[in-house]
């Protein structure tokens, strides 16, 4: 999905309605982004930095909800799409949205202010709901869901790189590496032979010093 979004952004297109219903898995398990009906140019033809607000409320970024709340044009920025992708990732990992969908009679203008207020507080890390989520995956998702666009990934390519680094057991480049124990586990997986050699060396040292330790104990 990150690669597909990066391709769209490189061609100058914002999706503006990312949600699970607009992601199709091919027979090979490759996700494809669908439904560009409300898409817009990254930079509109008139040169402005804003476009009309579009999207689905539970997957909207704070800046889009703010624009809807105050009836103003929304931002034209790739980081808005990345926020929506972060909500999809969160739901994929936990089975739940990071923020509850609230009743509002189905009227977006009534629901948007409350949903915006909820987004002003950081969501619980995915690992709170799914203990199998690693600290690095937590960091990737939470970076996508930052309130301020400047704190998110600035390009979908950067997100794709961090995801590839995670899959290949390397340290992240753009999201924070918060867990030294996970970095150590990644290093061991990248260097299994060296890890085995170190373990054997440690065992050999233990056997080497064991007789001397036993002798000292007997002397005492």
Catalytic residues: 17
Contact 69, 41 (CB under 8 A): no
d(CA 181, CA 190): 14
CA angle 41, 44, 45 (to 5 degrees): 115
CB neighbours of residue 220 within 10 Å: 5
Helices 108-119 and 62-69, packing angle to 10 deg: 140
Burial of 201 (0-12, 13-18, 19+ CB in 10 A): exposed
CB neighbours of residue 155 within 10 Å: 17
User: Who's near 8: CB < 8 A, 6+ residues apart?
Assistant: 14, 15, 33, 36, 39, 81
d(CA 11, CA 7): 6
The conformation of residue 47, written as its DSSP 8-state character, comes to -
Contact 33, 65 (CB under 8 A): no
């Amino acid at each position: 999905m990150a690669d597909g979004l990066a391709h769209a952004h490189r061609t100058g297109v914002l999706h503006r309605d990312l949600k699970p219903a607009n992601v199709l898995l091919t027979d090979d398990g490759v996700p494809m982004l669908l439904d560009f009906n409300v898409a817009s140019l990254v930079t509109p033809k008139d040169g402005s930095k804003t476009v009309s607000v579009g999207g689905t409320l539970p997957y909207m970024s704070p800046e889009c909800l703010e624009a809807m709340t105050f009836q103003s044009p929304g931002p034209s920025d790739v980081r808005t799409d990345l926020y929506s992708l972060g909500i999809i990732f969160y739901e994929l990992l936990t089975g739940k949205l990071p923020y509850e969908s609230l009743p509002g009679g189905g009227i977006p203008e009534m629901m948007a202010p409350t949903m915006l207020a909820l987004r002003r507080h950081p969501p619980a890390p995915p690992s709170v709901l799914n203990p199998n989520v690693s600290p690095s995956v937590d960091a990737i998702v939470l970076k996508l869901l930052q309130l301020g666009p400047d704190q998110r990934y600035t390009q979908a390519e950067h997100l794709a790189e961090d995801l590839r680094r995670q899959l290949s057991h390397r340290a992240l480049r753009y999201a924070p590496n918060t867990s030294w124990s996970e970095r150590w586990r990644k290093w061991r997986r990248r260097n299994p032979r060296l890890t085995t050699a170190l373990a054997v060396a440690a065992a050999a040292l233990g056997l080497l010093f064991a007789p001397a330790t036993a002798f000292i104990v007997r002397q005492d």
